[in-house]
Amino acid sequence: MFSAVAAAYPHLRETLRYLEQDHAMIAHLLGGLQQAVDRCAGPAELDRHLDGIPAITESHFGYEERQLLAVLDTLDLRAEVRSVFGPL
């Protein structure tokens, strides 16, 4: 979906890069949690993983809503899904 937003609103490209960095960080944190679960890590380690994920996701979603909510409301969601969201 970012590619559709970037094409329609070039001034948001920097914002989209920031959000993509957040997505990478969230994926990294979730991967670390999955590895901890797979090796049956103890409660203290699992708590450390679980503490970091909500902090970044809360910040991310708040920023995303402030920056993109009005823009997302303008997208033509009647269009074919791939043309709006890209490859899923």
* pTM score: 0.72
Give me the pLDDT at residue 13, please.
Answer: 94
Whole-number pLDDT of residue 2: 81
Helices (H), 1-88: 2-8, 13-38, 43-72, 81-85
Distance in angstroms (rounded) separating the CA atoms of residues 69 and 32: 30
Joined tokens for residue 72: 């997302």
| CB 15 within 8 Å of CB 68 | yes
Please give the pLDDT value at position 70: 84
Give φ, ψ of 9 to 5 degrees: -135, 75
Q: Where are the domains of the chain?
A: 2-6+14-74
- Mean pLDDT per 10-residue segment, the chain (88 residues): 83 94 93 96 93 89 90 74 68
Return the H-helix or E-strand segment holding 77: none
